A and B are shown apart, each in its own frame.
Chain A
Amino acid sequence: MSSQIPMVDYLRLGDDPRLVAHECEQCHARYFDHRIACAACEGESFRDVEVDPTGEVKAFTIVSLAAPGIPVPFVAALIDCDGTSVQANLVDVEADPEHVTLGMKVALTTYSLGTDDQGVEAIGFGFAPVP
């Protein structure tokens, strides 16, 4: 497993992958980037918390024009994971408005981004529909 690296540092790999947010100890605001202080309350202490790996799509778009190297169309979505907003691509779903709907239930999943010259495999994440 040491030959894997997450696409971003807030994705924790393992048997049960999770997104991990930095939560302000004072006001519980959650962030995915590294922090100097809390934008909500100016607190300077944070703890890492697991984000619920399931959620509900509260906004999406189907992108047909993107940066070079990004396959289109793809679905970008804002997902409400039990009160924490997460931005992610929806995966394992047809990228059309018949298959993607507001309010649909989704769950975290991971996929390979490929292996580099040192044999390290990068792992990305997305959210897939759940029945």
Chain B
Amino acid sequence: MADDVWILGIHMTKFGKHPTLDTIDLAAEATRGALSDGGVTMKDMGLIASGNLLAGGHVGQTLQKAIGQTGIPVINVANACATGATALKVCVMALRSGEADMALAVGVEKLAGAGLLSGGSRADDGGSWTPEGRYGAVTAVDGRIGTATMPGVFAQIGMEYGHRYGGTSFELFAQISEKNHAHSTLNPLAAYSKRFTLDEIMNDVMIAYPNTRPMCSANCDGAAAAVLVTGAKLKTLSLEQQRRAVKVAASVLTTDPWEEGCQVLPNVNTLTKAAASQAYEAAGIGPDDLDLVELHDCFATAELVHYDNLGLCEEGGAPDLFRSGATWRDGRIPVNVSGGLESKGHPISATGIANVWEIATHLRGEAGPRQIDGARVGLAHVIGLGSACGVHVLERSAA
């Protein structure tokens, strides 16, 4: 039986615009914060898993050169929007296998001012029509054969749910965004913490119907880091460290299994359902045991389908669950009390650790004015298109 894994220290930077801080500054701030929070140093780490997509691929080693070169293995990971969760999973695997007794996961991204993120397109070079690539395309197809832009892909994912089960509308998706922006007003680390009325959300700039601008995740800068420790090692640390440690009851990473249509419109449902089911089994809990959930609301249309995928409602029951008020912070199962990606922001590789920070902070009872009282168990979920799903179930220390 593999040893338990715990979060010993965890930290996220403020998300937003950091024009004077570069990628390494942000990663260093998050890492120093996590080490300090855990009462340890770089010398205690046996492994670093470093997540980043846009800064060239060697952030882990550059981070070491900024704050501590100890010769330990560094694994640079990239897994789209699930990169942060993947860094955590790598640490969990290393600790469970006995390769290390303490490990650092860090995720960082500089994304402020980035434009629309798409699935890739090719520029027309004029001259003559020449077939290229896997589809023999003579021109860029994005926008001519559907859309690979993220707001449009996730819009269709929400619409497909509506077509299958009914009960969705532009207004319903906008109300989900209204909830998350309302939640963000209590989060000082959120990139945006302004409350919007439903009218303001529905009448804002349309990006990809039914997602208007405030219904899209916010591109911003940020980093998050966590120090993970084995249960055996934790027992040798101070009682205060043990009291604040948060148990990683499940750490699951999945990809999308083949299903009809999955290579036409990405299927974010199959792999999330699988990850949730594996996570509940590993943690020995069910969705009804959760006190709060941070899920991947990269767009308002995505949040809805994940209520269902994570088992927070019966199949097809996501619109009813939302309309019942259950997912507001005073509801039965609060979702995205941080403000979610729509307002807290989405510095891609940081996201999968920042949402674990949010859950851990509530479980420790340290979330201040936005504390969910008595939180004992929480779940953090991310999806990276392509696809990868990370689910972490966290439990408050019994100590």
Interface residues of A (CB under 8 A from B): 5-10, 29-34, 39-40, 57-67, 69-70, 73-74, 76-78, 83-89, 97, 102-103, 113, 116-118, 120, 122, 124-125
Contact = CB atoms under 8 A, between A and B. Distances in A.
Interface of B: 116, 118, 121, 124, 126-129, 131, 134-147, 149, 151-152, 155-157, 159-160, 162-164, 170, 205-211, 258, 260-261, 263-265
28 contacts: A5-B138, A6-B136, A7-B138, A29-B258, A29-B260, A32-B263, A32-B264, A33-B135, A33-B263, A34-B136, A61-B155, A62-B208, A64-B205, A65-B149, A66-B142, A66-B149, A67-B116, A69-B140, A70-B143, A76-B156, A78-B160, A83-B260, A85-B261, A85-B264, A102-B159, A116-B129, A120-B129, A122-B139
A5 B131 CA distance: 9
Nearest to B124: A69
A12 to B, nearest CB: 12
Contacts of B135: 8-10, 32-34
Given A58-B160, A118-B128, A39 B137 contact: no
For the residues of B in contact with A, the DSSP-based class is loop
A67 B140 contact: yes
Contacts of B164: 58
Contacts of B137: 7-9
B146 A89 contact: yes
B133 to A, nearest CB: 8
Nearest to A113: B139
A82 B185 CA distance: 47
Contact of B116 (A29, A34, A65): A65
A31 to B, nearest CB: 6
B143 A66 contact: yes
Nearest to B143: A70
Interface centre among A64, A70, A103 (most CB of B within 10 A): A64
A31 B164 CA distance: 23
B204 to A, nearest CB: 11
Contacts of A89: 143-146
A61 B129 contact: no
Contacts of A102: 159, 162-163
B150 to A, nearest CB: 11
B145 A31 contact: no
A92 B209 CA distance: 18
Interface centre among B170, B206, B209, B265 (most CB of A within 10 A): B209
Nearest to A95: B209
Contacts of B143: 63, 66-67, 69-70, 74, 76, 89
